[in-house]
Structure 1
Amino acid sequence: MSSKIRTRIAPSPTGFLHLGTARTALYSWAYARHHGGEFVLRIEDTDVSRSTQDSVDQILQSMHWLGLDYDEGPVYQMQRLDRYAEVLARMLAEGTAYACYSSPEELDALREAQKARGEKTGYDGRWRPAPGKVLPTPPEGVKPVIRFANPRDGVVRWDDLVKGPIAIGNQEIDDLIIARADGVPTYNFAVVVDDIDMAISHVFRGDEHINNTPWQINIYRALGASLPAFGHLPVILGDDGLKLSKRRGAVAVSAYEDEGYLPEAMLNYLARLGWSHGDDELFSPAQIVSWFDGSHLSKSPAMWDAAKLTWVNAQHLKQTDDARLAALVAVQLRRLGLAVDDAAVTPAMCALFKDRCNTTVELAQWLAMYFGPVTPQPDELAQHLTDAVRPALNALADRFATIAWDKASIALAIKEVIAAHGLKMPQLAIPVRVLVCGRAQTPSVDAVLALFSSEVVQERLRNA
């Protein structure tokens, strides 16, 4: 292995980039960036029947949205078939791999017989060459799979970056298939060849891969290659206590972009699902890189908490530059069916409302009143739009037609109308909000109105 730190993320394009893979990508990226190393994106697309270009596109888009930039890639496994064939030929020649002609029906019968005898199920090595052993005659017209000749004795040990020392006896694992009959490699073989060729020094992945690691370590050794450091991360559980996965409960990372979450908030939250830096709850991507040295990784499963993610996002939203928010909100407004260009959404709008919002979707819902008609709730109209206040609303509309359109002038006009009609501030301000904004509660009414055009405000007030 190279002395340079090199990490990778290797999603399979059989669906969206889900939350567990995104967390693994974050840790791999942060570790490489912390140590001045390199981060590689590899697409493990050897599951040809289930891999799709749509999934590839979504994975790439999600990585881009999260800001997890990679130094190499994407590298596609299906473009490396010649390299896998070269390594397979070498292993066959060296006797660390062999051809197996057992049919699926034979293997099913083998497993059933083993179960009937109360034995552990597994391949019995019937096609594995051995001194003095006479192999069956290969059946005509049958293409074999290639199996790895796993060592029969000894123990595979490694010091896991997360779990600590792990040992698994070779007698617990059998001769796995490393290439299918069509020549396409299987996961445990291809991942080793890829990591060797790409000089990957540190492998972070989910702890469901722990059982694969002994096979992979043995393949590394069969190829005379140095081992990377392995770190197996605990699973992420849903609120029902079951593992999130592509098939169960997981949501695409891209869905959170659509729902108005900020990428830095998602990174912040994902980082805390299995890693800590003291009592810090809120931090930037730059701080993650600065602090993530591979220590303080939890051995215990993490619980996905949607409410906590929303809280984290709200805190980041409050700190986000208003000009950037304006561009994000313009996108969300267009998704609401409003014809809005980016320049129409001003940073001042975002600054006024963002403290009330958890997401840019909520912020867009607030700002929609500036770009489309409002529909006040009938109960609010009935409660606040009384005969006693209607004359004051018409007077206010008339007054607004004569003033400079700024917050101070609006505030003064409201006070003058209140005094002239013997009202209190809520008696006028709330119906103004209902008519102009479509809701009874808003930030300071003068600040809210100043962001409308005077003509729109007058028109909505005269509709009373």
Structure 2
Amino acid sequence: MSAPRLRVAPSPTGDPHVGTAYMSLFNLGFVRRHGGAFVLRIEDTDRARFRADSEQQIYDTLRWLGLTWDEGPDVGGPYAPYRQSERLATYRPFVDRLLADGHAYHCWCSPERLAQMRERQRADKQPTGYDRLCLGKSEAERRALGGFADTPVVRMLIPDDVPLTFTDVIRGEVSAPRPDDQVILKADGFPTYHLAVVVDDHLMQITHVVRGEEWISSTPKHLLLYRWLGLPAPAFAHMPLLRNADKSKISKRKNPAARLTWFVEQGYLPEALLNFLGLLGYSQPDGSEIFDFAQFSADFEWSRVNTVGPVFDLDKLDWLNGHYIRELDLAEFAGRLTAFAGDPAHADVIAAAAPLVQERVATLREGLDMIGFLLVDEASFAVDEAAAAKHLGEAGQEVIAAAVLALQADGEWAHEAIEAALRGALVDGLGLKPRQAFGPVR
């Protein structure tokens, strides 16, 4: 096999989706095993949802995970530019060719007219799709019919005999529903995803297109465009969708864990998250659950991808993250906890407290929450009212009084001696369980 070229092509429309990292991991695992190239392309043609800060977040989160690319907007490459908004002149000749060959046509239908059409189709219990009102008409002829927009879009003319099956690298023979006449050039002059992805993948010599299974229904359209334009088609591989516990598709609107930045905010380690993503719908040859990227890539095979949508199990991620935290040497754990705290002035205090929490936490945030009271100066210190109500009631006051007496006695002020004194006074003396005894003291 010649050196493969794969790409991931996120849209900068908000916080990067965890699915971008998932696809990047599998693309990169295959590429690195076979000595190919991994391309990052920014698909920013959706100007209505574009967010200026999102592109940098894509760079930052993928690099945080160690998923680095060989070509992209920020590193350059032989097929630059790698932002679709900078490639607009590239797409127009392909649109003109499709129009000239009768494979596409202008559509002047207004958004209001299209909305009414879809509403009528739903009321009549018909499939929704464009009704070809504009097909074969001149601008003047179409204007006379109403529901007219001055600037047309360009639509594909889907033939009656459009092939609806294709061979998928992961799934084998796949069937897709019949597409309607897809818009390929919008009124603002920007191509839609369907045209841009075909043109860019060809010009950037992409050999394998790896994407989520939601794009299966679009593949017949893309294969048509390759055929009409006389371009060789890449291999297609459709990965399973990541799912919530209720089996619904994981989305940023419903699940904060769909945002890649959420994992940074919660104090997950990048190596743990990468390991976790590599377990979703995939298995190692020896069945191991703990592995790094080098191990993932060394034996990578598309045949081991399970097409049943994997459940995004945060309990499993917490277990993995706790494992990686406990595997860090103490200095490394303290350093990561300090970096997560965001204030190097607390480095010495965090380093001293780190051994007390390393074995007990699943995330860096949990560790910081446990030692947070040590990082607050006396002037800013405030009692958590909810915690006080829970632990410092009448029973709690009795515990505190007994603890004060125990600690005022002469003795060595060291961990072992303090623990022995408190256990003697509270557990043995008051007959309390450790949780009841030490909660108010903390």
TM range (shorter): 0.7 to 0.9
Aligned partners of 2:124 and 2:298: how far apart in 1? 56
The answer to whether 1:246 aligns with 2:247 is no
Partner-residue secondary structure (3-state), 2:53? helix
Contact 1:127/1:136 (8 A) holds in 2 = no
**Which amino acid in 1 is paired with 2:89?**
D
The match for 1:364 is 368
Contact 1:14/1:55 (8 A) holds in 2 = yes
The answer to whether 1:320 aligns with 2:365 is no
The match for 1:302 is 310
Aligned partners of 2:370 and 2:122: how far apart in 1? 63
Superposition deviation, residue 440 in structure 1: 7.8
Correspondence 1:385-424 to 2 at 5 A? 385=403, 387=405, 389-392=407-410, 395-396=411-412
Tell me whether 117-126 or 286-295 shows the greater mean CA deviation: 117-126
Aligned partners of 1:440 and 1:339: how far apart in 2? 34
Q: Show CA shifts across 1:120-160 (max 9, x none).
A: 3433434445xxx9997353982221112223214233211
Contact 1:15/1:246 (8 A) holds in 2 = no
Aligned partners of 2:118 and 2:360: how far apart in 1? 61
Contact 1:204/1:230 (8 A) holds in 2 = yes
Superposition deviation, residue 331 in structure 1: 2.4
Q: Show CA shifts across 1:136-189 (max 9, x none).
A: 7353982221112223214233211222211347xx222211001221111111
Partner-residue secondary structure (3-state), 1:312? helix
The match for 1:37 is 36
TM-score (norm 2): 0.80
Contact 2:280/2:310 (8 A) holds in 1 = yes
Partner-residue secondary structure (3-state), 1:308? helix
Tell me whether 59-68 or 120-129 shows the greater mean CA deviation: 120-129
Contact 2:346/2:375 (8 A) holds in 1 = no
Superposition deviation, residue 425 in structure 1: 9.0
Aligned partners of 1:138 and 1:20: how far apart in 2? 42
Q: Show CA shifts across 1:206-232 (max 9, x none).
A: 111111111011111111111111111
Change (3 A) 1:321 1:153: same
Partner-residue secondary structure (3-state), 2:268? coil
Contact 1:4/1:37 (8 A) holds in 2 = yes
Change (3 A) 1:220 1:322: farther
Superposition deviation, residue 30 in structure 1: 1.5
Aligned partners of 1:92 and 1:342: how far apart in 2? 65
Partner-residue secondary structure (3-state), 2:321? helix
Aligned partners of 1:240 and 1:383: how far apart in 2? 49
Aligned partners of 2:276 and 2:124: how far apart in 1? 50
The match for 2:108 is 101
The match for 1:8 is 7
The match for 1:192 is 198
Tell me whether 380-389 or 22-31 shows the greater mean CA deviation: 380-389
**Which amino acid in 1 is paired with 2:345?**
V
The match for 1:17 is 16
Partner-residue secondary structure (3-state), 1:295? helix
Superposition deviation, residue 339 in structure 1: 6.4
Partner-residue secondary structure (3-state), 2:143? coil
Aligned partners of 1:136 and 1:219: how far apart in 2? 29
Tell me whether 60-69 or 380-389 shows the greater mean CA deviation: 380-389
Change (3 A) 1:331 1:247: same
Aligned partners of 2:187 and 2:347: how far apart in 1? 55
The match for 1:269 is 276
Aligned partners of 1:5 and 1:128: how far apart in 2? 40
Superposition deviation, residue 361 in structure 1: 2.1
Equivalenced residue count is 404
The answer to whether 1:218 aligns with 2:224 is yes
Superposition deviation, residue 365 in structure 1: 3.8
Aligned partners of 2:70 and 2:116: how far apart in 1? 48
Correspondence 1:52-91 to 2 at 5 A? 52-74=51-73, 75-91=82-98
Correspondence 1:332-371 to 2 at 5 A? 332-334=340-342, 340=345, 342=347, 345-346=350-351, 350=354, 353-368=357-372, 371=375
TM-score (norm 1): 0.77
The match for 1:382 is 400
Tell me whether 134-143 or 295-304 shows the greater mean CA deviation: 134-143
Change (3 A) 1:118 1:280: same
Superposition deviation, residue 396 in structure 1: 2.7
Change (3 A) 1:116 1:258: closer
Aligned partners of 1:185 and 1:59: how far apart in 2? 22
Superposition deviation, residue 424 in structure 1: 7.1
Gaps of 5+ in 2: 74-81, 428-435
Change (3 A) 1:329 1:226: same
Aligned partners of 2:205 and 2:356: how far apart in 1? 51
Partner-residue secondary structure (3-state), 2:175? strand
Contact 1:19/1:250 (8 A) holds in 2 = no
Contact 1:180/1:186 (8 A) holds in 2 = yes
Tell me whether 115-124 or 372-381 shows the greater mean CA deviation: 372-381
Percent identity reads 35
Contact 1:18/1:250 (8 A) holds in 2 = no
Aligned partners of 1:429 and 1:239: how far apart in 2? 42
Partner-residue secondary structure (3-state), 1:101? strand
Q: Show CA shifts across 1:102-135 (max 9, x none).
A: 3344444554565566543433434445xxx999
**Which amino acid in 1 is paired with 2:187?**
A
Contact 2:179/2:218 (8 A) holds in 1 = no
RMSD across aligned positions (CA): 3.4
Gaps of 5+ in 1: 398-409, 431-438, 443-464
Partner-residue secondary structure (3-state), 1:267? helix
Superposition deviation, residue 100 in structure 1: 2.2
Contact 1:101/1:127 (8 A) holds in 2 = yes
Partner-residue secondary structure (3-state), 2:109? coil
Partner-residue secondary structure (3-state), 1:144? strand
Tell me whether 278-287 or 361-370 shows the greater mean CA deviation: 361-370
Aligned partners of 2:253 and 2:71: how far apart in 1? 29
